[in-house]
Chain A
């Protein structure tokens, strides 16, 4: 009773002092309820056969039928393979690229040159994805820039974006082109925090510039690299659908179509609401698990984690 009373008293006192604060919290709560948690609740249609005419409540429950339909669909294997491979290629080539750029930039002693390279390499980050996709599409046509270069080296001109075997290369390369400079900023800041005495000590020991880079700079920025890597691992299967939707076409589906672009096609274009929601939900759950695993491994190995 007494504790209860004091709780009430505390509550009243807190309310008198902070009521405006609680009012300020209302918009945020409404926002998250409507645009984050309502869709999560709506994702329950993955377990229903949703018909817009019947509405959410009256559509019949079907259990895991939508999921088993996806797992036994002929596209399941292809979608999983394409999603995983595209992510892995982006990780394998796209992740080290900005680190290498930062290390190389750090070795430049002429500041104006460094500034110019930095400014130019950040630029592509600010070109919109639509324009980037437009440029890629245009350059890949049989008369486009890429084919001019291929012809110069004695190759044969052909429409590159119609060729399934080239799709991933184009996707990953353009990703690196767009993000390498911007991605290097964080590593450059980490490098600028390295203690200069470490370099002096290494010099005394007779280390050249390359060895200083490998034995001083690289270890010093490892913590940053680890955090960035966990973030990437966690989003391994959540590779964005925007660029895929802009670049793929039926002739490259066999390598280009990924889970999220399939969800878009089946859901928004063909109105298979429940089926596509189930596929999306499957993808979200896998992503969550991957993030948890990556975080746990990192905490065990390096005592660094997101939470």
Chain B
């Protein structure tokens, strides 16, 4: 009996040690690429190219890459466009999705099941990329930021989550208001929405992250570079190598190494805002993922 407990103790301890090592390694792998980018962005470009092996601190120290990034008008413009899309877009999405979810959550609506079926079907089948593009073109939604807001006002997945949540609010609450003469608009805005703050926060998180990350339709429908959101600007700089406008005045031999530090600085500038609000979002993560998993 005694030996057995000791044996089990040893097995458990090995398990524990291995577990800690694995998790620490994983955290390192998740974090290091970001640290690398930060170190590289503050490095002096010449020293950075000479360096080999892992980067554990900036090579020299220079903020000239950041100076060049902030001088680039496209980045500021991209930020402003994205900010506009975030404010107007998320507002429209929340209003449209809430109203739709409210209608679908009422039990005595004619054709509710038919509507629900038609809407759910769009989650599993769509016309595809090209007909969607042709539709936007036909509706004159190309070449305007509205084309990135209006066609994306309702995400069906989010709609179903919100509908399930609205439907779980006790009917007695809304019935009482109805007897007092409140119409549906009043019920939605003064009873249902105030009771759904947590889920609405999750919706804002989902929609906001979606808009922040989206680039494909922006790069497809926008012709005017002035209206590019941040991610499309980033794509030009990081992936299509258009750093030349920022490396003017740099000797031809140094172009490449300077371009590298500019890219890293751009990544930092474009990711810092997300990391700043990250701690505030974190408390919604668990709720957010769980509501997503609720079966309709």
Contacts and interface: CB of A to CB of B under 8 A. Distances in A.
A107 B122 contact: no
A180 interface: yes
Contacts of B295: 227, 306
B197 interface: no
B26 A117 contact: yes
22 contacts: A14-B110, A18-B184, A24-B185, A27-B96, A35-B151, A42-B127, A101-B26, A108-B23, A121-B27, A122-B282, A123-B275, A128-B231, A128-B274, A130-B238, A138-B238, A186-B290, A263-B129, A267-B129, A268-B130, A268-B133, A287-B125, A288-B125
B252 interface: no
Interface string B1-13: 0001000100110
B176 interface: no
B271 interface: yes
Contacts of B275: 123, 126
Contacts of B286: 185, 189
Interface in A188-229: 189, 206, 208-210, 224, 227
Contact of A45 (B16, B29, B131, B290): B131
Interface on chain A toward B: helix, strand, loop, or mixed SS? helix
B103 interface: yes
Contacts of A130: 213, 215, 231, 234-235, 238-239
B271 A18 contact: no
Interface string A137-177: 11100010100110110000000000000000000000001
Given A24-B185, A43-B127, 8 more contacts: A34-B151, A120-B31, A128-B270, A133-B238, A134-B235, A134-B239, A189-B289, A280-B128
B154 A280 contact: no
A36 B185 contact: no
Contacts of B99: 24, 27-28
Contacts of B37: 135
Contact of B128 (A31, A281, A291): A281
B210 to A, nearest CB: 11
A151 B106 CA distance: 63
Instruction: Select the residue from B110, B126, B132, B183 with max chain A CB neighbours within 10 A.
Output: B126
Contact of B19 (A41, A108, A138, A234): A108
B171 to A, nearest CB: 14
A39 B128 contact: yes
Task: List the 6 shortest-distance A-B pairs measured between CB atoms, nearest first.
Answer: A134-B238, A39-B127, A280-B128, A42-B131, A28-B100, A39-B131
B49 interface: yes
B67 interface: no
A229 B16 CA distance: 29
Contact of B274 (A126, A245, A267): A126
Interface of B: 4, 8, 11-12, 15-16, 19-20, 22-24, 26-27, 29-31, 33-34, 36-37, 49, 52-55, 96, 99-100, 102-103, 106, 108-110, 115, 118-120, 122, 124-135, 139, 151, 153-154, 183-185, 188, 209, 212-213, 215-216, 220, 231, 234-235, 238-239, 260, 263-264, 267, 270-271, 274-275, 278, 282, 285-286, 289-290, 292-293, 295-296
Contacts of A268: 129-130, 133, 220
B47 to A, nearest CB: 13
A224 B290 CA distance: 11
B263 A263 contact: no
B115 A25 contact: yes
